[in-house]
Amino acid sequence: MESAFTIAALYRFASFSDPDAIARDLRLLCAELGTCGTLIVAGEGINGTVAGSGAAIAALVAHIRTLPGCADLDVKYADSDEAPFARMKVKVKTEIVTLGAGDLDPANRAGTYLDPPEWNALIADPDTVVIDTRNAYEVSVGSFEGAIDPGTRSFRDFPAWFDGFAEKLREEGREPRIAMFCTGGIRCEKSTALVRARGFDEVYHLRGGILRYLEEMPEADSRWQGDCYVFDERVAVGHGLKAGDYVTCRGCGLPHVRDAAHECAADGSGVWPHRKQG
The DSSP-derived string for the chain is ---SEEEEEEEEE---S-HHHHHHHHHHHHHHHT-EEEEEEETTEEEEEEEE-HHHHHHHHHHHHTSTT-TT-EEEEEEESS-S-SSEEEEE-S-SS---S----HHHH--EEE-HHHHHHHHHSTTEEEEE-S-HHHHTTEEETT-B----SSGGGHHHHHHHHHHHHHHTT---EEEEE-SSSHHHHHHHHHHHHTT---EEEETTHHHHHHHHS-GGG--EEE-EE-SSTT-EE-GGG-B-SEEE-TTT--EEETTS-------SS---GGGT--
**Of the residues 30, 36, 70, 182, which is catalytic?**
182
Q: Is the Cα torsion angle 163, 154, 213, 247 positive or negative in sign?
A: positive
C-beta separation of 132 from 179 below 8 A: no
C-beta separation of 196 from 109 below 8 A: yes
Whether 228 is catalytic: no
Cα three-residue angle 41-276-72, rounded to 5 degrees: 40
C-beta separation of 151 from 136 below 8 A: yes
Q: Give the active site residues.
A: 182
